[in-house]
């Protein structure tokens, strides 16, 4: 089920146009985290259900074994034969459920690790967005002061504008890279 969620998210991210700012990237990352949390929750529920089925299957094996032994004790060969056949099916079912539960536990652990990484990336992107917006605000303030005829003290305005553009481009490239990493991680399965 989690793979379908990942595939849907991957398709949506690939179909979308590149986001123009960090706010949109952070928003998409937050949506992905929310969907991943829902997926992890569903995986936990499925695991609990499978564990319940396994416990029931094990109880059936014990009950059938006890009944077969009682039939053997009174030398009822026909009942022993039927119980042996039923016991074999129950043991096989129990073994399948044990493998299923083990696989679901591993998959849940992987999904929880992925979710943790996604949440850390979201926190990081949110921090970068705040820094980016602060830089934009500072640049806007200095631009309005420059329009009023006041230059930044001890600063080459053209050099600072070029530096700000390069810094902004670097932050946007880093955000794009983080989004690509998130896309790749969501696509693995």
Domain that residue 12 falls in: 2-187
10 is written with which tokens? Answer: 């991957």
Segment among 36-40, 145-149, 177-181 with least mean pLDDT: 145-149
Average pLDDT score, the chain: 77
Overall domain count for the chain: 1
Confidence of residue 19 (pLDDT cuts 50, 70, 90): very low
d(CA 126, CA 135): 14
Residue 189 has pLDDT above 50, yes or no: no
Confidence of residue 21 (pLDDT cuts 50, 70, 90): low
d(CA 131, CA 129): 5
Over the stretch 67-84, which tens digit does the pLDDT of each residue have? Answer: 888 888 888 888 888 888
CA distances from 169 to 20, 24, 72, 174 (A): 11, 16, 81, 9
The string of DSSP codes covering 78-139 is HHHHHHHHHHHHHHHHHHHHHHHHHHHHHHHHHHHHHHHHHHHHHHHHHHHHHHHHHHHHHH
Confidence of residue 123 (pLDDT cuts 50, 70, 90): confident
Report yes or no on whether pTM surpasses 0.85: no
Q: Give residue 96's pLDDT.
A: 94
DSSP 140: H
d(CA 71, CA 54): 26
């Amino acid at each position: 089920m989690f793979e379908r969620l990942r595939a849907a998210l991957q398709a949506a991210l690939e179909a979308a146009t590149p986001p123009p700012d960090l706010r949109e990237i952070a928003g998409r990352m937050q949506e992905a985290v929310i969907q991943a949390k829902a997926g992890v929750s569903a995986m936990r529920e499925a695991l609990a259900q499978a564990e319940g089925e396994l416990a029931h299957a094990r109880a059936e094996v014990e009950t059938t074994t006890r009944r077969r032994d009682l039939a053997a004790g009174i030398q009822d060969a026909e009942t022993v034969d039927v119980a042996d056949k039923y016991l074999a099916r129950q043991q096989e079912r129990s073994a399948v459920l044990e493998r299923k539960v083990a696989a679901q536990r591993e998959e849940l652990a992987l999904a929880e690790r992925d979710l943790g990484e996604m949440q850390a990336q979201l926190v990081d992107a949110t921090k970068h967005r705040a820094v980016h917006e602060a830089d934009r605000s500072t640049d806007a303030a200095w631009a309005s002061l420059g329009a009023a005829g006041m230059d930044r003290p001890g600063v080459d305005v053209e050099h600072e504008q070029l530096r700000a553009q390069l810094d902004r481009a670097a932050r946007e490239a880093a955000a794009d890279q983080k989004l690509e990493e998130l896309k790749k991680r969501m696509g693995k399965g």
